[in-house]
Amino acid sequence: MELHSSRIVYSLNRKLDYFLSLPMQYASEEADWPLILFLHGAGERGDNLQLLRKHGIPRIVSEMADFPFITISPQCPENDWWLNRLQDLKFLLDTVVKQYRVDTSKMYLTGLSMGGFGTWHMAVEYPDLFAAIAPVCGGGLGILGFPERVLEIKDLPIWAFHGGKDNIVSVEESRTLIRTLKDAGGKPMLKIYPEAGHDSWTETYSDPELYEWFMSNRKSG
């Protein structure tokens, strides 16, 4: 599948470059399509979109002949963080929804490492936006009100992933948020790869079960 590069410019000359992909049948079928917003890790920041092809959704899209989702994969500028770009991500998502046939009841959010943190925080910032989220080796920053703020998405379908031997982002980051949600009556899932280090994303994004789980969740209302 082909990744199309583009750029969106905001007020004060803020910008995000991003990859967009469309399902093969998009042009021939008058249908609304599910969408995945993907947030990369710290190592892919900068102004070279090709870096995004290394991991996660852009890599899967490049390798698959037919990926049945519209995908958006923005690039975070150098020395910046997704946590500073949540409003920009929302603007980008809104723009894509206006321009393409998106099934807004089936919009999903996922990201790895820095993007995993971004996934948790984006979902909390916009708790009614996504049908499900899948943070990979991420967590929540206490200075921004976590873990307590995670209760704002107690009823959102969540499937988190983490390596049991991650020495970059401790697995306790995911465990803490999942435990907080469960203690409040939520039903999040956590998959730990016992022998994996920081790279828990290769196995996660290569597993068709993730995408089947996404599609099993639809936002009501």
What is the structure's pLDDT at 221?
65
Q: Which two tokens stand for residue 98?
A: 């206006």
CA dist 144 and 121 (Å) reads 9
Q: Which residues are 7's β-sheet partners?
A: 17
Rounded Cα–Cα distance for residues 220 and 163 (Å)? 32
**Per-residue pLDDT reduced to its tens digit, 167-220:** 999 999 999 999 999 999 999 999 999 999 999 999 999 999 999 999 999 998
Q: What kind of fold does domain 4-215 have according to CATH? A: Rossmann fold (3.40.50)
Longest CA span, the chain: 48
> Which tokens is 88 given?
């920009």
The pTM of this model reads: 0.96
Express each pLDDT in 102-152 by its tens digit. 999 999 999 999 999 999 999 999 999 999 999 999 999 887 899 999 999
DSSP letter string over 50-64?
GGGGGSHHHHHHHH-
- Quick check: 93 pLDDT over 70? yes
- Is it the case that residue 1 has pLDDT exceeding 80? no
Q: Is residue 40 predicted with pLDDT exceeding 70?
A: yes
% of the chain beyond a pLDDT of 70: 99
Residue 197's CB: how many other CB atoms inside 10 A? 13
pLDDT in tens, 149-173: 999 999 999 999 999 999 999 999 9
Separation CA 105–CA 132 (nearest Å)? 10
